[in-house]
Amino acid sequence: MVVVEPARIADAQAIHELVTHWADRGDMLHRPVSEVYESIRDFKVARIDGQMAACGSLHIMGPDLAEIRSLAVREDAQGKQLGAAIVDACLEDARELGLERVFALTYRPGFFERVGFRLANVMEFPQKVWNECVRCPFFTNCKEVAVVMDLGGGDEALPVVREEAAP
């Protein structure tokens, strides 16, 4: 049985180990364990029979924009749509928050295109480039590809609450 839910503090070490596994292979960027703890509320995890099998986070970048980060699936859990389930959970949060766009920087743009993102120019996200990318050791030789999904967001994404007049 697969369950996707918010990460707990007890998941931080497993998230760090999973991200490190793929980062060591060159498939994503490393994240220090301290950063995982600091952003634990951003993370979703997918569990198979209670064991964490995938993770990913939704990091708010501004009033209309968030980034999906640290999306990783254990090797023995590949092909079970866990990555898509994590992305769906992050997008649901983004919609509930009223965000207009969600982007990712990835070495696997095809995956994101299959779940509804489109290719983008990283310069569409200057807050990412000039606040974070500029400090990355790969800044001048970045191989990540930007993808984005437009959600609409804003007030129209919020449910309409009507008050009835008192009798």
Tell me the pLDDT tens digit for each residue of 70-82. 999 999 999 999 9
Distance of CA 121 to the CA centre of its chain: 18
Residue 112 has pLDDT above 50, yes or no: yes
Answer whether 29's CB lies under 8 Å from 57's CB.
no
Calculate the average pLDDT of the chain.
Answer: 84
pTM: 0.82
SS3 state of residue 58: strand
The most confident of 22-26, 36-40, 101-105, 158-162, by mean pLDDT: 36-40
Question: Regarding the domain delimited by 2-157, which CATH topology (the fold level of the hierarchy) does it fall under?
Answer: Aminopeptidase (3.40.630)
DSSP assignment string, 3-57: EEEE--GGGHHHHHHHHHHHHHTTSS----HHHHHHTGGGEEEEEETTEEEEEEE
